[in-house]
Amino acid sequence: MAISVGLFSAHALAASPETVTVGYQKANIFALLKYRGTLDETLKKEGISVRWVEFPAGPQMLEGLNVGSIDLAATGDAPPTFAQAAKADLVYLGHSPANPQTEAIVVPGNSPIKKVADLKGKRVGLNKGSDVNYLLVKALEEAGLTYKDVTPVYLPPADARAAFQKGAIDAWVIWDPYLAEVEANADAREIRNAEGLAPHYTFYLASRPFAENHPETAKQVIDELSKLSDWANQHQDEAAAILAKSTGLEKSIWQTTLKRLPYGASRMTAKVFDEQQALADTFTRVGLLPVKVDVRSATWSLDKR
């Protein structure tokens, strides 16, 4: 009996890392967690420090996850499928509630484009391989068009915002808070959001070695994200102030964003995996992903020790 207790104690000790390295973007939920400091406080009680590493976008962050420079990340729907196609050894820890109203196809207020079908032959700005790439494909197909019926112009949000303002693109597919900003400050008019087309989740991801070696710590992070979500949903004004400081966008932009952005942290379900698989299969079908991806190969369970 003494031997088994000793073995269990050794395992428990090994399950607590000295440092947890978290990747974040200025506008996502991990930024809110960073600035509130609650994860740092919780893990500090167990002798674990938190190191925060900022990334410009999800794909770069998941590359960091794959090479081991970070342990945890939060991104939208699309980047994990591209990372899986590139053989990144990641797992899905959980997801946010669906928030399809936080991404949309917009056109200038005076544009003759009134509906998605009018995009045929037009230049459409978007971030390649992002969640809005899926929205565009689904919206075009709903309108009886294909991805080949438009000219995608692949630009990161800042460059796309400038191109939209100058009229260098006819439409822009974008997500909040940038969507809220362009609606408020550039007379953007929405012609289709993701409602009924794409659920649009935020996924909480970990490198597989981290999740399997430190399962309790991984679970603690999800628990902290859940608590933070409850706080943010009930204190939108305070959350907007924090995110405004993080991103440099006006607080009013974040107030608009948070009204249509429910935060949350739930464990993965069969339904969510099916939706994520549908996204991956669509990207493979239209040639954005070079191979078929088995999303469930990135399943993680606390029962795996």
- Return the pLDDT at 218: 95
Give, in degrees to the nearest 5, the angle at Cα 193 between 187 and 196: 165
> pLDDT value at position 1?
36
Rounded to whole angstroms, how far apart are CA atoms 39 and 305?
Answer: 23
Fold of the domain built from segment(s) 105-193: D-Maltodextrin-Binding Protein; domain 2 (3.40.190)
Q: Which residue numbers in the chain have pLDDT < 50?
A: 1-14, 303-305
- pLDDT value for 5: 37
Distance between CA atoms of residues 90 and 109, nearest Å: 42
**pLDDT tens-digit map of 42-54:** 999 999 999 999 9
pLDDT score of 303? 45
Q: What is the pLDDT of residues 58-101, one digit of tens each?
A: 888 999 999 999 999 999 999 999 999 999 999 999 999 999 99
- The pLDDT of residue 2 is 36
Question: CATH assignment of 2-99+201-298, given 3.10.180.10, 1.10.1200.120, 3.40.190.10, 3.30.1600.10?
Answer: 3.40.190.10
Those residues whose C-beta lies under 8 Å from the C-beta of residue 141, and which sit 6 or more positions away, are none
pLDDT for position 60? 86
Q: Which residues of 29-68 are buried (b: 16+ CB within 10 A; e: fewer)?
A: bbbbbbbbebbbebbeeeebebebeebebbbebbbbbbee
Q: What is the pLDDT of residue 7?
A: 36
